[in-house]
Amino acid sequence: MSDPRWSKSGDVASRDRSAASAYATDDARLALAAGARPRRFGAWYVAEHRLRVMWSYAQTIISTGFGEPLVYLYAMGVGLATLVDRNLDAGGVGYLVFVAPALLCSAGLTAAMIEFSYPVMVGYKWNPTFSGMHAGPIRPGQIVDGLVISVVIRLAATMVVYYAFMVLFGAVPSPTGWIAIPVAVLTGMAFGTLLMAYASTIREDTGQLAMVQRLVVLPLTLFSGTFFPLTQLPWFLQWIGWISPLWHGTELSRVATFGYAEPIWLTAVHVVVLVAMTAVGWLWSRRIAVRRLTA
């Protein structure tokens, strides 16, 4: 400022400039401080939002959460079992014990399917709430993470109730049976995150999700060793089980609930496949979220 070469007007201009830059750094400091918490906890805020939305349809969640196990366990495990137990060798246990872990995993898959399809379509397209989150300090990946967290919580609650009914029906002879709860959650996530990734790519809704329900979920439910062992299928259909998260989850749950006899390596394969599918679906969804929201 004391430099004699500065003209009077130059003096004013440079003072203006330095005032402006001081202002800018203050602004920047404030922004960086305010951005710190959302950077760290953004996914939890998204989960909080999702859980609040779920609470708005809690009646449905609770009634299906209690109704479904009651109806299915009774119909399959008690009703159908009277017929099956006379004819089928289900690994040395009654049909109820055989089918209950499959029903549990299937319920996990169905619930995950609902929570990962409709909210994703809403969030990107029908009423772009994801854009709203992203207009705030939430990053696209955090939106996906938040969805995953909320669905894990929702599935865990539903699976605990389902498992309680299994115990009441006497379908869990083994003390390690509770492990079926996290396994069923994982089964839901393995299928659900892949479905989320697919749903994230849908730009024009022409009923693709209904097709997924009919052409993917239904065959998976029928041919994943759910109601009868996979080995009962002709060899050329057995591959369905190997790519089906439901088969891996079901077999794993059976090991937990009644000590289903299978080689240890196969049990390891179930875990690896389910974790891998979850990871692929999750990461893929994150990538699509970045691409779709930051275009």
Of 129-137, 168-176, 241-249, 275-283, which part binds another protein (CB under 8 A)? 129-137
**Encoded tokens for 223:** 């041919």
Candidate residues 12, 13, 19, 53; the one interacting with another protein per rule CB under 8 A:
53
**Whose Cβ is closer to another protein: residue 38's or residue 91's?**
38
Compute the least distance from the CB of residue 266 to another protein, in Å: 42
Which of 45, 72, 98, 284 forms a contact with another protein (CB under 8 A)? Answer: 45
Dist CA 252 CA 259 (whole Å): 10
C-beta separation of 122 from 129 below 8 A: yes
Does position 32 bind another protein by CB under 8 A?
yes
> How far is Cα 185 from Cα 249, in angstroms, rounded to an integer?
9
Please name the residues in contact with 275: beta carbons below 8 A apart, sequence gap of 6 or more: 186, 190
Min. distance of Cβ 21 from another protein in angstroms? 8
| 229 dihedral zone (left: phi>0; alpha: psi -120 to 50; beta) | beta
Quote the CA–CA distance of 240 and 33 in Å, as a whole number.
51
Q: Segment near another protein (CB under 8 A), from 4-12, 17-25, 99-107, 165-173? A: 17-25
Toward another protein, which CB reaches closer, 131 or 232?
131
What gap in Å lies between CA 223 and CA 215, rounded to an integer? 12
Q: Are 47 and 153 in contact (CB under 8 A)?
A: yes
Of 35 and 92, which has the nearer Cβ to another protein? 35
Contact flag: residue 36 with another protein (CB under 8 A): yes
Stretch that binds another protein, among 34-42, 241-249, 258-266, 274-282 (CB under 8 A): 34-42
Which residues, numbered 54-73, are part of the site for another protein (CB under 8 A)? 56-57
**Who's near 277: CB < 8 A, 6+ residues apart?**
190, 191, 193, 194, 245
Q: Which of 91, 94, 128, 259 binds another protein (CB under 8 A)?
A: 128
Q: Please state the closest distance from residue 158 (CB atom) to another protein, in A.
A: 19
The yes or no reply on residue 275 touching another protein (CB under 8 A) is: no
Question: Looking up tokens 């203006």, which residue turns up?
Answer: 16
> Which helix (H) or strand (E) element contains residue 69?
helix 58-72
Q: Does 35 bind another protein (CB under 8 A)?
A: yes
Q: Which residues bind another protein (CB under 8 A)?
A: 21, 23-25, 27-28, 30-32, 34-39, 41-42, 45-46, 48-49, 52-53, 56-57, 127-129, 131-139, 293-295
